[in-house]
Structure 1
Amino acid sequence: MTKKPFVGQSAIANGLLDLVHTDVCGPLSIPARGGFSYFITFTDDHSWYGYVYLMRYRFEAFGRFKEYRLEVENQTNRKNKSPSVGPRWFIGYPKETAGYYFYDPAEQKIFVSRNAVFLEKGFPSDSRHDEVLIEESNEEPHRDTKTSFEPTVHTDSVPVLRRSTRESRVPDSGFVGLTSQLDNDPKTYGEAMSDIDSDKWLEAMKSEMGSMGSNQVWTLVDPPKGARPVGCKWVYKRKLGANGEVTAYKVRLVAKGYTQRPEVDFEETYSPVAMAKSIRILLAIAAWYDYEIWQIDVKTAFLNGFVEEEIFMDQPEGFTAVGEEQKICHLQRSIYGLKQASRRWNTRFDEVIRGYDFIKNDYDPCVYKKISGSSVAYLVLYVDDILLIGNDVKMLGDIKAWLSTQFSMKDMGQASYILGIKIYRDRSRRLLGLTQSSYIEKVLKRFKMEHSKRGLLPMRHGIKLSKKQSPKTDEELKRMLNIPYASAVGSIQYAVECTKPDVAYALSVTSRYQACAGEAHWGAVKSILKYLKRTKDMFLIYGGGELILEGYSDASFQSDDGDAKS
């Protein structure tokens, strides 16, 4: 039934699913992958969580609605009370709200609705004379439910705003991919064999091949007709400790995923990781309640995922099977480098951990919780790094032992260093400190600021940036093209998310000009880096005070000369 347009703005709904907005868009001028030309959206007015379903034809809308209704009713334990469209009697107009009064003879009740089609063409003797086709408003009283719910991605209905299928570089650990440009690790098999640490690299490669064999990652087969095997390469990384010392030589055999063909070698690629703010929140809770914080590393995590597509790969350089040089690898497991590898691993881990009675967090899909009596445990997953946080040592030990039966694990003990963040604890005072001194030193070196002066403030007083300071001449444009402005902003952003909220405002201002940065904007970014040099050894401290969430915001529309946006 066609709904009438809303006029004006009404109050926000009091509870989940009290009011749901929906709209159908299409046909699209260029169909999406898979032949989808329409999409339908459902948005809850209370929480503003939304679902998007792709459709090939407009008539699929009702089927998508039923799919959506089942999903949200299951999550919120609320039922749709609106009946199907049917005849009711119009009896008047309400004074307090827009719409009409209707009488339902079947249920003998009066209600208000604004969605109606009046049947005015019948004769007076027609039994339908005073009837209208209406859709009743939901009169279900408000219930106490969860404050929000998280949409589930359906395999046969991909969100219209698709995640990029471009291969993402996933860090083994440490500095989220930034340090790869700062270290002198071998880039090829030949460089590794001529490196001063060649014996260590060779030992690591043999260990990697051992993992491939024990996990039955592939089988050697003769190339099938028409097969297009993807290439592979060795990736070398010196793993650093909290003080920058080399703690391990890590080698990964990585498939050249950029040669994979969409919808042939892969489909879905998105895989979540724990948000930095989720980690900080849980660490703050752990500090306040004096919880245990343990760290576990999953060895060759991606090899735990199973490949659903038929994929062939070349044999690894330096480890070609003697007498079977002409054969190729038929992949059974999700090797590193495949576009779907991280998704396959995350899906497998999610299935396993929920089978052990862990409950996934609604807001962060990589945070899990388990409660047993007075014992509570939190599990945080960041690719292959796991944090276990809880108040019961025995319970945490049981979880760790059980995980070891499912995956190959390395027990790291008490968490002291994760994702480039040092963790210091003073349990007698229930204090926990976080710092990224090593990470910041590497960022300063990368942008040639390691010998600069130390700044007192992240943004100098009186500095006012605007688009008017963008390059005007070809010479200025050419100079700014050689300045890694966006890269510097991104490097600072990671520090802000983890341990440096004090430079959040300065970063917010400078990040507005990434598309039109000039000398003044670059100077402001360097001021932030100078300030980070001065404060790199300082800590973000949790504990000591009350466990209260406080938020701060600032709107300054008039100070923006560009477009008056805060």
Structure 2
Amino acid sequence: MTTRSMHGISKPKKPFSLSVSIDDPSISPLPRNPKQALSDPNWKSAMQSEFNALIRNNTWELVPRPCDVNVIRCMWIFRHKKQSNGLFERYKARLVGDGRSQIAGVDCDETFSPVVKPATIRTVLSIALSRSWPIHQLDVQNAFLHGDLHETVYMHQPLGFRDPHHPDYVCRLKKSLYGLKQAPRAWYQRFADYVSSIGFRHSTSDHSLFIFRQGSDIAYILLYVDDIILVASSHDLRKSFMALLASEFAMKDLGPLSYFLGIAVTRHAGGLFLSQSTYATEIIARAGMASCNSSATPVDTKQKLSSSSGTPCEDASLYGSLAGALQYLTFTRPDISYAVQQVCLHMHAPHTEHMLALKRVLRYVRGTLTYGLHLYPSPVEKLVSYTDADWGGCPDTRRSTSGYCVFLGDNLISWSSKRQPTLSRSSAEAEYREVAIAHSD
């Protein structure tokens, strides 16, 4: 066999660059480091805007570095902010703390923070549609800066913005910062305390749903970290709460709900259409299947996936990444819930057969990019659940697989497919367990 190297033929290696995310040459590419960003006027302006917001919010104070304390690093994160249609909107620079270097019990304590459940979002949207209430999205600028810290956290000064008079000083944080382990919890507590003071109370079933009820006036606030949906029974009530929230937080009204958590919301004559087509396209591109043939169904019903099917997968991290991404895609795609649940069972030790099953799901998604979830105005007095169970369907554990869907009026608001936690001795027992699971969820 003759190779090119035997004849002295070679091609120069071109390193693959991840720094450019948008093809338009007029848009500055993503910088590789802060020094490169500071040399670009667009990115420098974005960094200056972020730094000014930090200073205005009194996020830290410069102090001499104490002895024997843990000082965490800070980093600049850059990205192109895009619109719901994928077009460039603006340059985004964010200063984050390196929470990985925090020490539990020293500069961080409790870190858990609730986020709104998908079923809660769909329920509130259904109620708003049935009553023709306005649905608006709010944007909180530098949301985590509003959370007060109860622990003492020291951080190095940000690169490019060190105080020339005190270059050796460190930042003693007074407000939470992105990247800190306790940042989401501090912001949630700060927001929850304020909305409680203006008459809201959080739902007992979902602590990220805040409800206001006074006579005939009703309002809902859905909180997912720094993304907020405000639903009010009248425009005057909405404007009143917008004014109150804007007086306390750096917040603006983005108008009627159109893009939330990566989900495009399209209004039509009949109601709302929720779609994740852009997100689905990104998953397919990440898997390298942008030009693949589509599949008519997401799963092969003739066989069950076993933990020992095939040989170990060569790239387990890619499998886990794609399976996790597909889980979020089920927010608007109940048709792939069972197939995604099956491939997610093997994320800890994926085999070749599992990868083939995952790729089949992706090929199905490739052919159904326009699919999504429709919500229509309908009466909301009736809640109907449908359940089913595959008795002993798991070939490894012989446990049953449960599935249910819940309708509020004519709108599908909740669904699930999961393996039951215990063995069932009969199909009837498996079905009763599923009914219990559907009602408890």
Q: Calculate the TM-score normalised by the size of structure 2.
A: 0.81
Cα 1:181–1:494 change in 2 (3 A) is: farther
Residues 134 and 233 in structure 2, CA contact (< 8 A), matched pair in contact too: yes
* Deviation string, structure 1 residues 375-422 (Cα, Å, up to 9, x no partner): 211100111111001221100110011000000012201110011101
Aligned to 1:186: 31
Question: Are 2:127 and 1:285 equivalent residues in the alignment?
Answer: yes
Q: Report the AA paired with residue 392 of structure 1.
A: S
Cα 1:219–1:516 change in 2 (3 A) is: closer
Q: Which runs of 5+ in 1 are unaligned?
A: 1-178, 472-476
Aligned to 1:541: 374
Deviation at 1:470, TM superposition (A): 4.3
Aligned to 1:124: none
Question: Are 2:268 and 1:434 equivalent residues in the alignment?
Answer: no
Work out the percentage of aligned pairs sharing the same amino acid.
33
Deviation at 1:258, TM superposition (A): 1.3
Cα 1:375–1:180 change in 2 (3 A) is: farther
SS in structure 2 of the partner of residue 453 of structure 1: coil
Q: Report the AA paired with residue 510 of structure 1.
A: V
Cα 1:456–1:331 change in 2 (3 A) is: same
Structure 2 counterpart of 1:407, from 236, 242, 249:
249
Structure 1: distance between partners of 2:189 and 2:393: 47
Higher relative contact order (CA 8 A, sep 6+): 2
SS in structure 1 of the partner of residue 320 of structure 2: helix
Q: Report the AA paired with residue 406 of structure 1.
A: E
Structure 1: distance between partners of 2:297 and 2:152: 56
Aligned to 1:232: 74
Aligned to 2:237: 395
Residues 284 and 432 in structure 1, CA contact (< 8 A), matched pair in contact too: no
Aligned to 2:346: 513
Aligned to 1:222: 64
Aligned to 1:524: 357
* Deviation string, structure 1 residues 435-456 (Cα, Å, up to 9, x no partner): 0011111111111111111121
Deviation at 1:182, TM superposition (A): 7.7
Deviation at 1:554, TM superposition (A): 2.6
Structure 2: distance between partners of 1:432 and 1:511: 30
Structure number with larger C-alpha Rg: 1
Structure 2: distance between partners of 1:217 and 1:543: 44
Aligned to 1:457: 297
Deviation at 1:356, TM superposition (A): 0.6
Q: Report the AA paired with residue 358 of structure 1.
A: F
Moved over 4 A (4+): 179-184
Structure 2: distance between partners of 1:287 and 1:437: 23
Q: Report the AA paired with residue 526 of structure 1.
A: K
Cα 1:453–1:229 change in 2 (3 A) is: same
SS in structure 1 of the partner of residue 322 of structure 2: helix
Aligned to 1:351: 193
SS in structure 2 of the partner of residue 484 of structure 1: helix
What are the within-5 Å matches in structure 2 for residues 27-38 of structure 1? Answer: none
Question: Are 2:331 and 1:493 equivalent residues in the alignment?
Answer: no
Aligned to 1:199: 41
Deviation at 1:278, TM superposition (A): 1.3
Structure 1: distance between partners of 2:181 and 2:248: 24
Question: Are 2:151 and 1:309 equivalent residues in the alignment?
Answer: yes
Deviation at 1:468, TM superposition (A): 3.9
Structure 1: distance between partners of 2:73 and 2:281: 36
Residues 470 and 517 in structure 1, CA contact (< 8 A), matched pair in contact too: no
Deviation at 1:545, TM superposition (A): 4.9
SS in structure 2 of the partner of residue 439 of structure 1: helix
Aligned to 2:84: 242
Cα 1:344–1:482 change in 2 (3 A) is: closer
Structure 2: distance between partners of 1:370 and 1:383: 20
Question: Are 2:175 and 1:330 equivalent residues in the alignment?
Answer: no
* Deviation string, structure 1 residues 47-82 (Cα, Å, up to 9, x no partner): xxxxxxxxxxxxxxxxxxxxxxxxxxxxxxxxxxxx
Structure 2: distance between partners of 1:291 and 1:456: 38
Deviation at 1:482, TM superposition (A): 5.0
Deviation at 1:520, TM superposition (A): 1.7
Structure 2: distance between partners of 1:452 and 1:515: 27
Structure 2: distance between partners of 1:515 and 1:215: 43
Residues 182 and 442 in structure 1, CA contact (< 8 A), matched pair in contact too: no
Cα 1:342–1:468 change in 2 (3 A) is: closer
Q: Calculate the TM-score normalised by the size of structure 1.
A: 0.63
Q: Report the AA paired with residue 30 of structure 2.
A: D
* Deviation string, structure 1 residues 307-349 (Cα, Å, up to 9, x no partner): 2122211111001111211211121111222111111111111
Cα 1:558–1:315 change in 2 (3 A) is: closer
SS in structure 2 of the partner of residue 206 of structure 1: helix
Structure 1: distance between partners of 2:20 and 2:359: 20
Calculate the aligned-residue CA RMSD, in Å.
2.1
Structure 2: distance between partners of 1:420 and 1:210: 28
